[in-house]
Amino acid sequence: MSAPDRQQRLTALRDTIADIERKPALAEVRAKSFDARDGNFPRLPGGLLQEVFTDAVRNGGANLGFALGQAKTLLTPKRMAVLYLQLTSDGQFFGLPYGPGLLSFGFDPAQLVIVRVSDMRDFLWVAEESLACRAVAGIVADIGGDPEPLDFTASRRLSLRAAESGTSLFLLRYGAERQASAAHLRWCLTPHRSGRKRFDEQAPGAPRWSLELEKGVALGRQTQFLLEWTENGFATLPVEPGRKSRHRPTLPFAFPTRLADGLSQAARV
Amino acid sequence: MGQSVADARALVPRLAIRELDRPMLENAFASFADWHSNASPLVSVLTDMTPYGDLILDITGVPHLFGGEKIMLSMMISRLRQVGYTVSGAIAPTIGAAWAVSHFVGNRVVTPKTIVTLLDSLPIPALRLGRDQIAALTQMGLLTIGQVRQRPRKPLQARFGASFLIRLDQAYGEIEERMTPRLPIVEHFVERRFHEPISQLDDVLAAARELAQKLCAALESDGLGAQTFHLFLYRVDHKVMTLSLNAARLTRDPQHIVSLFHHRAQRFEVEEFDPGFGIDMVRLAASSLDRLDVAQLGAFETENGAADIDRLTDRLTSRLGPTAVLKVELVESHIPERAARLAPAVVAETESPLSRPRPRRPLRLLPMPELVRINAEVPDGLPASMIWRRQPYRLIKGAGPERLGAEWWRKRERLQLVEEVEPEELEPGEKAKQPPYVAALPLHDPEASTRDYYLVEDTDGRRFWVFRQGFYDGDLPPAWYLHGFFP
């Protein structure tokens, strides 16, 4: 068997495996718009399951801001709604999205549908049902703790649904625990000191987030981002050297995490 | 009837005595009445004369389905007799006449020709009168309705009241008598009867699917769409179960209707689905109809996601209930918790927000503000540290205060606008001046309800929205609350 032939067959096999793994969204978008053209934070396309982890509920505002900021870029005339999903019992604990606040963030509250469910079973049902709807731009789901029904199988179902319909799902998670999941991207978010406000040194300025990509490939090999919110979306700031995620030690390459990471390894050249 | 328990016991020593459960009987009779809507959609219970009411059916345009009025009446009476009830019924052009004939003559069909002669021969109590009226009439020797009808009306009204004449006219059909239907009035419905009663929920839904297609075909031929759909399940044991649901917009899409009932039924299953001895008829009805023109699917149509979104919210609402799927409505108010309102997505009106400048507001708001402990370096200065949910935060940046007063006009309080007038000593002969009018409302207390909002940021970059209620120099010490989170 000659070498080029062998090479071809290997490529074909890899393609087959990639097909079996059904990650069309990731495979496609990695080639297209995930690339680091100018070092800016990429405008991530729809159809991704993204987990946004943060250490505690007190960062809920930053978490929601990051998800809505991304969901806003996904809104089109055809996809004109964003769903916010929460357990009814968590309302007071997390707080609810606030109309005038959405306005001042630059998000039209008329485009937000808030769904409050009583248990995790309904939660997952709503998530799947809305993911299947091609008129929904994105779903932002607040999940406190580590609920039993949201296991690897459930997240795999959700990620397949998302990839199929092109609707993005943002799971806002809290805490340092990381379970295995089939999310395409996993972010670790920490709030960052706000920018300078003009004419008022004392006041908080534009919101900033510092992000670390824990899983998936977004921007070449870059995993650390520092973002600032502007009227036109995210602006990327240079990452301060020496700033490290505080959560690194708590997840010393946990076996399930590696396993989930490995999903795409077969297709990786 | 009307006997005391002691008398009854004396007659029958082994009498078993049970207390009458009126609400239960009333409910049973009402659901029994509902079941009769399988004969005619307009069913009502007339409660003014008998303790549990009389069952009234408006059968206009229905009898030919049963082979004529006579056959229909005997069918309906015999089927109740078979179950073991004592029944008496009549068909008449007016409610009053039907009541009179069924109570005083028996099972009979009254036609417009015979109504006058028949009613004339009936006794006075057949007119649904009060006890005093009947007693007075009998005292006067007026025993049949015919005798009363011949007499001049004015003295009768003076003596027995207007209600007497109304009853008389209603019985003869001179004035119309209205009935209030128990079930929602439906303009379009389709139904299916089963030879063998069904009891599985899946079978019911399968029947609903078939009916939905029929109903939608009927709606389409009339160029109509409907917003509300009802599924009536008639049980063999004379009860009706109703499933109603609303769609966000006019529709006549059978797939969509069936899927809504499917989701609704899943919730139904959890609560209770009790088919009893089986369901022998299913009816699907549509109400809130309006024109819905045939949608044209053309090549130049720009596809809009709004219809899909409405369909999705319908589906979610039908399973989770209307209070679970919400939209944000903005309200003109400066009080933060009143400025936005959550309304069910099926009914919410989405308006584009007004373009006036709005101050910076948090992305998340706590439904109830939480008490925090805050230290400021100087009173009225920016907060310097905060303890919330037992966690300390050191605050390094802050903006504020933004002072928001309470809406005194909503709390039925008045402002201190007019000085109190001291009564002056009057000269003899001088008239006292009219004091200015002051509404008798409690005085508005700005200290108790004015809030000072601050946007603060801690060392790690979390941004909170806190407020202080009350002033430092007031009587009560000020209290601090956390109200929201900024991105």
Three-state secondary structure string covering chain B: CCCCHHHHHHHCCCCCCCCCCHHHHHHHHHHHHHHHHHCCCEEEEECCCCCCCEEEEECCCCHHHHCCHHHHHHHHHHHHHHHCCCCCCEECCCHHHHHHHHHHCCCEECCCCCHHHHHHCCEHHHHCCCHHHHHHHHHCCCCEHHHHHHCCHHHHHHHHCHHHHHHHHHHHCCCCCCCCCCCCCCCEEEEEEEEEEECCHHHHHHHHHHHHHHHHHHHHHHCEEEEEEEEEEEECCCCEEEEEEEEEEEECCHHHHHHHHHHHHHHHHHHCCCCCCCEEEEEEEEEEEEECCCCCCCCCCCCCCHHHHHHHHHHHHHHHCCCCEEEEEECCCCCHHHHEEEEECCCCCCCCCCCCCCCCCCCEEEEEEEEEEEEECCCCCCEEEEEECCEEEEEEEEEEEEEECCCCCCCCCECCCCCCCCCCCCCCCCCCCCCCCCCCCCECCHHHHCEEEEEEEECCCCEEEEEEECCCCCCCCCEEEEEEEEC
* For residue A24, pLDDT beyond 70: no
Which residue in chain A is spatially nearest to B309 when comparing CA positions? A135
- Tokens 């075909």 sit at which residue? B217
Distance from CA of B19 to the nearest CA of A (A): 41
Q: Which two tokens stand for residue B432?
A: 């006292």
Which of A72, A84, A103, A199 to mutate to probe the B interface, most B CBs <10 Å?
A103
Across the interface, of B305, B324, B456, the residue whose CB is closest to A80 is B305
The answer to whether residue A179 sits within a structural domain is: yes
As a whole number of angstroms, the distance between CA A211 and CA A225 comes to: 5
Instruction: Write the ipTM.
Output: 0.80
Phi-psi region at B324: left, alpha or beta (left = phi > 0; alpha = psi -120 to 50): alpha
Bridge partners (DSSP) of residue A222 are: A219
Q: How many helices (H) and strands (E) does chain A have?
A: 8, 10
User: B313: which chain A residues are within 8 Å (Cβ-Cβ)?
Assistant: 113
* Chain B contacts in chain A segment 174-193 (CB below 8 A): 190-193
CB atoms within 10 A of CB A27: 16
- Each of the 487 residues of chain B gets a pLDDT tens digit; together they read 677 888 888 888 888 888 877 788 877 787 778 888 777 778 888 777 777 778 888 888 788 888 888 888 888 888 888 878 888 888 888 888 888 888 888 888 888 888 888 888 888 888 888 888 888 888 888 888 888 888 888 888 888 888 888 888 888 888 888 777 777 677 788 888 888 888 888 888 888 899 999 988 888 888 888 888 888 888 887 778 888 888 877 888 888 888 888 888 877 665 567 777 888 888 888 887 888 776 655 555 556 677 888 888 888 888 888 889 998 888 888 888 888 888 888 776 666 556 666 788 999 999 999 999 998 888 778 899 999 999 999 999 998 888 888 888 887 788 777 676 676 777 777 777 777 777 778 887 777 778 899 999 999 999 999 999 888 877 778 889 999 999 8
Tell me the residue type at A120: M
Is the distance from CB of B145 to CB of B127 less than 8 angstroms? yes
User: B270 or A121, which is more confident?
Assistant: A121
Which of A64, A99, A226, A213 lies closest to B358 in space, CA to CA?
Answer: A99
Burial class (CB in 10 A: 0-12, 13-18, 19+), A26: buried
Answer yes or no: do A204 and B486 touch at CB < 8 A: yes
Q: Which two tokens stand for residue B334?
A: 């400066």
Is the distance from CB of B90 to CB of B109 less than 8 angstroms? yes
Calculate the CA dihedral of residues B149, B150, B154, B159 and round it to 10 degrees.
-60
pLDDT of residue B354: 60
pLDDT of residue A254: 41
Answer yes or no: do A97 and B326 touch at CB < 8 A: no
Residue A110 is given by DSSP the state: G
What mean pLDDT, rounded, does chain A reach?
Answer: 80
pLDDT of residue B296: 54
> How far is C-alpha A174 from the geometric centre of its chain's CA atoms?
13
Domain count across chain A: 1
The answer to whether residue A1 sits within a structural domain is: no
pLDDT in tens, A210-247: 988 888 766 666 778 889 998 888 888 888 765 554 44
User: B303: which chain A residues are within 8 Å (Cβ-Cβ)?
Assistant: 78
As a whole number of angstroms, the distance between CA A136 and CA A165 comes to: 10
Tell me the residue type at B395: L
pLDDT in tens, A175-214: 888 888 888 888 999 999 988 888 888 889 899 999 888 8
The answer to whether residue A4 sits within a structural domain is: no
Which of B264, B364, B378, B402 to mutate to probe the A interface, most A CBs <10 Å?
B364
As a whole number of angstroms, the distance between CA B475 and CA B477 comes to: 7
Q: Which two tokens stand for residue B83?
A: 């179950």
Answer yes or no: do B327 and A116 touch at CB < 8 A: no
Which of A189, A114, A168, A175 lies closest to A143 in space, CA to CA?
Answer: A175
As a whole number of angstroms, the distance between CA B441 and CA B460 comes to: 48
Answer yes or no: do B461 and A208 touch at CB < 8 A: yes
Bridge partners (DSSP) of residue A83 are: A113, A139
Backbone angles phi, psi at B190, to 5 degrees: -130, 155
Answer yes or no: do B463 and A116 touch at CB < 8 A: no
Q: Tell me, what CATH number does A158's domain have?
A: 3.40.50.300
Number of A/B CB contacts below 8 angstroms equals 205
Helix (H) or strand (E) holding A102: helix A99-105
Angstrom distances, CA of residue B32 to CA of A264, B204, B235: 64, 21, 10
CB atoms within 10 A of CB B41: 21
Q: Which two tokens stand for residue B44?
A: 């009502």
Which of B26, B325, B40, B402 lies closest to A129 in space, CA to CA?
Answer: B325
Print the domain residue range for A231: 10-267
Mean pLDDT throughout A88-104? 91
Across the interface, of B325, B368, B399, the residue whose CB is closest to A200 is B399
Answer yes or no: do B340 and A100 touch at CB < 8 A: yes
Backbone angles phi, psi at B416, to 5 degrees: -80, 95
Which of A174, A177, A180 lies closest to A152 in space, CA to CA?
Answer: A180
Angstrom distances, CA of residue B469 to CA of A95, B156, B372, B399: 20, 71, 12, 17
pLDDT range class, residue A53, cuts 50, 70, 90 = very high
As a whole number of angstroms, the distance between CA B264 and CA B233 comes to: 14
Distance from CA of A201 to the nearest CA of B (A): 8
Which of A96, A201, A227 to mutate to probe the B interface, most B CBs <10 Å?
A96
pLDDT of residue B299: 54
Is the distance from CB of B268 to CB of B64 less than 8 angstroms? no
CATH 3.30.1490.100 intervals, chain B: 188-293+308-314
pLDDT in tens, B345-388: 877 666 655 666 678 899 999 999 999 999 888 877 889 999 99
pLDDT range class, residue A266, cuts 50, 70, 90 = very low
| Dihedral of alpha carbons B90, B91, B96, B101, sign | negative
Across the interface, of A80, A92, A115, the residue whose CB is closest to B324 is A115
* Chain B contacts in chain A segment 31-60 (CB below 8 A): 58-60
Distance from CA of A255 to the nearest CA of B (A): 31
Distance from CA of A174 to the nearest CA of B (A): 15
Distance from CA of A12 to the nearest CA of B (A): 38
pLDDT of residue A138: 93
CATH architecture for the domain at B188-293+308-314: 2-Layer Sandwich (3.30)
